[in-house]
Amino acid sequence: MIFYLLSVALILTACFIFYKVLLQQETFFPLNRFILIGCLALSFSIPFIPIPQEWSFRKANTQIERFIPLAPSNSIAAPENNTVSQPILKKSETVDTVAEKPSSFFKDLSFYEIMIWAYWLGVVIFAVNFIVQLGSLLYKAYSSPFIKDGRFRIIELSGNEAPCSFGNNIFINPEKYDWDTYSQILLHEKIHIQQGHSYDILFAELALIFQWFNPFAWLYRKAVEDNLEFLTDNELLAHSNIERASYQMSLVKVSVPRFPISLTTNYNQSILKKRLVMMNAKKSNVNSTWKYLFIFPLLLLFVALLNEPMAYGSANVKNNTADKFQPIDTEGTWFATIRNDQITIRFESDEDGKSNSSHTFSLSEFKNLPQNKEGNFTLTRDPGTIAFAGKFDGKTGMGTYKFNADATFLSFLAKEGVEAKDKDALVFCMVNLTKNFVNSLKAEGYTRFTKDDLIPLAALKIDVEYIRSLKNAGLTNTSLQDLIPLKALDIDGAYVKDIKNSGYKNVNAGNLITLKSQGIDGDFIKNAKASSGVSASSSTDNQMLALANEKGQKGSKGPKGDKNSNHDSDEDHTLDNLITKKVLNITPAFAKSFTDNGIKVSDEELIPLKTMGITADFFKEFENIGVKLEAEEAISLKSIGLTANEYTDYKKLGFKNLTLSDVISAKATGTSVSFISSMRKKGHDYTSIEKYVTMRVLSID
């Protein structure tokens, strides 16, 4: 959330600076209003916009969310309900999650959490202030005497309050002004109401509630209000018989020290000097509208900088029958079911049975199970011993248990840098973590690990044989954290060799995890290369897929702390390119449909073409009217919905030297054929389509 709030603040600040530097002095007040409100809305919405990988400066988050099963996916038939779902352990969880409750709420808060609490406290304070202001306005509007003037309600005030408006209500003390000044104030406030300026103020206030910490948000809200006053002054002088000098004098007369509520549009005196300057300023030239176009690259820059691209490569690795692992206490109640040579035991550590965990063991690990009578039996492993008391009735049993940790095992782990408690040892016992397993990891070069690493490694049975099979396939320097999703996704040496035999010799664990999670194998890669004419057999190290999610990114740390080398990526076959092709189902047949019709399309261009539903027929439609399109032009035309028939209609208007770019500009700005025809009927007969585009942008009738 912090990143989102800071992203909004950054965009809002940039938009304010853009307006302040380039647009504030322009007299296109309606256009300024549109820019201010539009940028305000986009500031909050831009961070949510998903964008293709190739448009972003960031890389898609292809990290696997690692959910690792603690036990085989067998179910247990307890005496009560016969069904118990299998638990799993999330990588970030440990048995400490049910440790003692914190004695102090604020003591255990992190700096990040304190910031979140402080932010929401500010939001609440400013939201309450907003509601109080709104309630005060509505109460005053509907409890004070008023005069009905068409759609307007003129609320009569008393005292030394400045006139203002909100909704369709005008607040004014008629006794303070002469008739001419009073009439001008009413005309001014009626323009505010007719053009819905209250909505702009409300929107700016709501944005300020959530950006209260951003000083530029306060300045932005002031800029919105100032521009509304400039706009209203301009409209009043342009469409009424009021003399400029008389109106400006009335502004001076109305100056009062007490200002109205900030939610209102008011006969604002706090910017009196600015308003007088703008009323007497020279009208901006139409040619200066080019400044407004810079807002588009500015916003696109923030989209590329801040927005994370669509993550085609993310996936959850889960056991099909697994639920969430719930750690249990070292003593409690057990229920068991025997099936063939296995025994599945559900452990419960509280009276209501909410804290439970089920695990399957080999029946050979238990001796002398008490049948039809009370008795004791044990399960002993390196981490400790679970002592059971109870009895079995046929294939089912129940009773109580108590776990005793092995002090020598905990001491052994402590020497390896792993601090563990008795509850941790119980989990180690469940997954059968042994001293030999830890020593085998050390023998393979993994000298640093935590209990969060050891639990899923043991649960998935990531042994020396598996690690060496990956190394023999050429996957070296793989971290413990990468071994977990590799094993969970069933990525073995055969899969590694399959990917390498497809032509890509330099792949790392991250690549393989992403490829496997998307179902991409060697055959798919070969087909993807064939679709763009790249021979898999001729691939060299300079024609490899990107070895990391970002060029120049550091490789995964291996057991010795080494880092994988980075290589140049084949620009036509990056990892993201392959994933996108898989997701969009871009087949060799799709690529061949363009080449068969003489259309040159690069590998990267296939992605937007497929995404936008552009086929070879789209190119042929334009060829039939004498226009040979490039792929980029086809994408631009499709994005604005310009068809071959519509292009022909523009040509029929008779413009000389009409280019495809001219037509794209006209279509994108809403300068339609019907608009141009209507302007010509009104006497606006120009030889250049650019004139009509300018008229449309400025909304000139």
| pLDDT given for residue 103 in this prediction | 41
Contact present, 298 and 37 (Cβ < 8 Å): no
Assign 76 to helix, strand or coil.
Answer: coil
Give the 3-state secondary structure of residue 90: strand
Identify the CA nearest to 37 among candidates 18, 15, 14, 22. Answer: 15
Longest dimension (CA), the chain: 108
Q: How does pLDDT run across 320-368, given as a tens digit for each residue?
A: 333 334 557 888 999 999 999 999 998 987 655 566 788 889 999 998 8
Q: Could you write out the DSSP letters of every residue in 325-394?
A: -----SEEEEEEEEETTEEEEEEE-STTS-SEEEEEEEGGG--S--BSS-EEEEEEETTEEEEEEEEEET
- How confident is the model over 641-681, as pLDDT tens digits? 889 898 889 888 888 888 888 888 888 778 888 988 888 88
Q: Is the pLDDT of residue 382 over 50?
A: yes
Predicted pLDDT of residue 66: 37
- Report H helices in 502-541: 509-517, 522-531
What type of residue sits at position 61? N
For the cut 90, the answer to whether the pLDDT of residue 376 exceeds it is: yes
Query: pTM of the predicted model, to two decimals?
Result: 0.43
Q: What is the pLDDT of residues 170-185, one digit of tens each?
A: 998 888 888 888 888 8
Rg (CA), the chain: 36
Choose from 424-438, 517-531, 599-613 the range with maximum mean pLDDT.
424-438
Nearest Cα neighbor of 418 from 60, 162, 54, 94 is: 94
Distances (CA, A) of 496 to 315, 358, 501: 19, 34, 9
Dihedrals φ, ψ of 605, to 5°?
-70, -20
**How confident is the model at residue 121, as a pLDDT?**
93
For residue 426, give the nearest of 376, 384, 387 by alpha carbon.
Answer: 384
Assign residue 353 a region (left: φ > 0; alpha: ψ between -120 and 50; beta: otherwise): left
The pLDDT of residue 342: 92
Per-residue pLDDT tens for 584-628?
777 778 888 888 888 888 777 777 887 778 888 988 988 888 888
C-alpha dist (Å) from residue 478 to 193, 315, 558: 67, 20, 5
Q: Say which amino acid occupies 365.
A: E
Looking at per-residue pLDDT, the higher value among 449 and 511 belongs to 449
* Residue 136, CB-side half-sphere exposure with 13 Å CA sphere: 12
Mean pLDDT, range 228-244, rounded to an integer: 84
539-556: pLDDT as tens digits = 333 333 433 333 333 333
Residue 354's pLDDT is: 61
The token pair that represents 587 in the structure block: 């087949």
- In whole angstroms, what is the distance from residue 666 CA to residue 455 CA? 63
CA distance 366 to 323: 26
Both structure tokens of 342: 């296995």
In the DSSP assignment, the letter for residue 164 is E
Q: What phi and psi values does residue 127 have, to the nearest 5 degrees?
A: -65, -40
